[in-house]
A and B are shown apart, each in its own frame.
Chain A
Amino acid sequence: MSSSNLQLEAPLDPAFKVERRTATGRGDLLEVSMGPQHPSTHGVFRMDVVLDGERVTKLKPVFGYLHRNHEKIAENTTYLGSMPYTDRLDYFCSLTNNWAYALTVEKLAGLQPPERAEYIRVITAEFTRLQNHVCLIGFLLQDMGASGTPLMYAFREREAILDLFESLTGARMMCNYMRFGGCRVDLPSGWLDQASKVVDRFPRFLDEFDRLISGNEILAARTQGVGVLPRELAVSASVTGPVLRASGVNYDIRKVDKYGIYDRFSFRVPLGDHGDVYDRYMVRVLEMHESLAILKSALRDIPPGPIMDPKAKLRSFKPKAGEAYGRIESAKGELGFYVISDGSANPYRYRVRPPSLINLTVLEDMCVGHTVADAVIILGSIDIVLGEVDR
């Protein structure tokens, strides 16, 4: 991220240094390899932790178990051919991944999606954010040991959103919906009514969740003051998304870049002051409320019209030589694609900036000094998807 975009309310402390708490040296240390097969590492992720009793004194994240060579494969397929692969990056948010990639290639090829397509993109992206955050808080509580109840409620609500995706794109998770210069198909008839119904029903779930867990003493005890990410560290490690905002930095690419048509919607960006797990949880809950506001106005205002830029081509698509970096605010943070074209049908260079991976780099700093049980929920609060981390 370029620093010019980042407007801090207070200057960063130049004397800030990461304090690495080390072993207390009271006894023998226990080295545990948590993962890659572990119930709560969210996939095939490994944490090599050194424990002093139950306290983590050292933590080494090890990833790459799910490496699929996505970037190299993309250099060997056509521009369009990479689109379905982007679904599989962060498999919770295929539609935002699609958008980020389409945005980049549109920059490269000079395409401009029509207005209706932009509205559809905003609607689907906000739905994606909703279902991602819903699942995340479900998983977080599952990591905390709630025996499935919050997760099941979360999945119940996600189901309705996935049904919407299916009736629009044909697939529930691997949507492969956006195209360079627009969207693949128009909304089927009745889709908008169905979507409004889902949006109207959603606050009921949020309230229910609030009653179920937000006031829970155990949740507060487990999360408040745990895994604090200082503002300075968050900024210097390029952490983005809700994790950064929970540390109190106002940085949301929807506001900074105003990509798509986000400048037309009025929404607020929730910020936390403590930067602990509880703030990350609450920031996401509040973000869902804001997403609902965006969805409401987008569903109301969506205009008729075409959904594809007339200049767009499907077959033999060859953007002129050049490079482009496109980024969006995905549910997990800044998702960027960097594509270099040499004028042929395949990109010359293709690179993904996955938010999960970059956010994961501060894991050790957050975990050291806390217990194993905390390390698990801190990892859960970062919201990683291994498909995106390992690519």
Chain B
Amino acid sequence: MLGTGLIKGMAETARNFVGSFLEEDRLTTVEYPEERIPAKEAARSFPFLVFDGDDAEKGLRCVACQICEKECPPQCIFILKDTAKKPDFVGKMQFQPKVFDIDVSVCMSCQICVEVCPFEAIKMDVDFELSRFDRFEGLLIHKDELSKPNSYFRKIHPTDAAAVDANLAAEKAKAEAKAVADAAAKAKAASAAAAGLAAPAKPAAAAPPPPPTPADPILKSASSSTAGPGLAETGSGKTHAPAHGS
């Protein structure tokens, strides 16, 4: 009969009208400036540079290799290499960027710079409130503003940061062990004494403090694949119980 569909529809809108007062999942509005949804861990907005320690200049992980500059699809990164080398976290002498600019009005938040960076130096921020009064110079973000401490990275992407820290620590330990081994080898070459036997014991003592949280295999895999496909295969759930529950 004419009108039954209409009346059914009106009943449905009435149900929604009442439901929007009573049911939480009907009224999904979040009133933004006052209320905020907690940022998702995987969330990303624009890239920033990570530095270790307190000094942004000294602790900057970026070595100005310019891979991100080349790989960036919209070409929004501009890097100028410094002439002098500085020691990095392993102690190896590396270049540092003199200028590192990201034009966030061009950046499309694709995260490719993060994936291709071999030094865990560039990561994605979650801060999206970047409105500026100057739309030209204001949106060209320079190195000093881009540099953010590792503690900030740990705060916004805890699992990711834990895995990165673990990786870096392992690498550092390896490098130090290698350095020690090299030194030991040299010493061994110099004097054919029992110095070679003592060498393996030393790096454990010299290694940096352990990573902040024990790396869960799944979480580790989630982050390690951002570091490149070579690492991705390592942790992708040989022990995967929680991830495929239902």
A-to-B contact residues, CB < 8 Å? 77-78, 80-85, 87, 116, 149, 153, 156, 159, 163, 166-171, 174, 176, 179, 181-182, 184-193, 196, 201, 208, 211-220, 299-300, 302-310, 312-315
Residues of chain A lying within 8 A (CB to CB) of residue B25: 201
Given contacts A153-B16, A159-B28, A188-B222, contact A182 B232 (CB under 8 A): yes
B-to-A contact residues, CB < 8 Å? 2-6, 8-9, 11-13, 16, 25-26, 28, 40-44, 67, 71-73, 108-112, 115-116, 118, 124, 216, 218-219, 221-223, 225-226, 228-230, 232-233, 236-238, 240, 242-246
A213 to B240, CA, bound (A): 44
**Taking CB as reference atom, which chain A residue is nearest B226?**
A185
Are A186's CB and B222's CB within 8 A? yes
The 8 Å CB contact of B12, one of A156, A208, A217, is A208
A191 to B244, CA, bound (A): 9
Tell me how far the C-beta of A193 lies from the nearest C-beta in chain B, rounded to whole angstroms. Answer: 5
User: Can you offer 5 A-B residue contacts whose CB atoms are under 8 A?
Assistant: A149-B13, A185-B42, A208-B12, A308-B233, A315-B116
Residues of chain A lying within 8 A (CB to CB) of residue B11: 211
Are B246's CB and A77's CB within 8 A? no
Are A186's CB and B236's CB within 8 A? yes
A325 to B191, CA, bound (A): 65
Given contacts A81-B73, A300-B246, contact A188 B229 (CB under 8 A): no
Are B9's CB and A314's CB within 8 A? no
The 8 Å CB contact of A184, one of B3, B115, B242, B243, is B115
The 8 Å CB contact of A193, one of B12, B42, B240, B245, is B245
**Taking CB as reference atom, which chain A residue is nearest B228?**
A314
Are B73's CB and A213's CB within 8 A? no
A176 to B74, CA, bound (A): 14
Residues of chain A lying within 8 A (CB to CB) of residue B42: 166-170, 185, 188
**Taking CB as reference atom, which chain A residue is nearest B25?**
A201
**Taking CB as reference atom, which chain B residue is nearest A311?**
B229
Are B40's CB and A166's CB within 8 A? yes
**Taking CB as reference atom, which chain B residue is nearest A168?**
B42
Are A176's CB and B111's CB within 8 A? yes
Tell me how far the C-beta of B110 lies from the nearest C-beta in chain A, rounded to whole angstroms. Answer: 3
Are A217's CB and B5's CB within 8 A? yes
Residues of chain A lying within 8 A (CB to CB) of residue B2: 217
Given contacts A167-B41, A308-B229, A314-B228, contact A174 B108 (CB under 8 A): yes
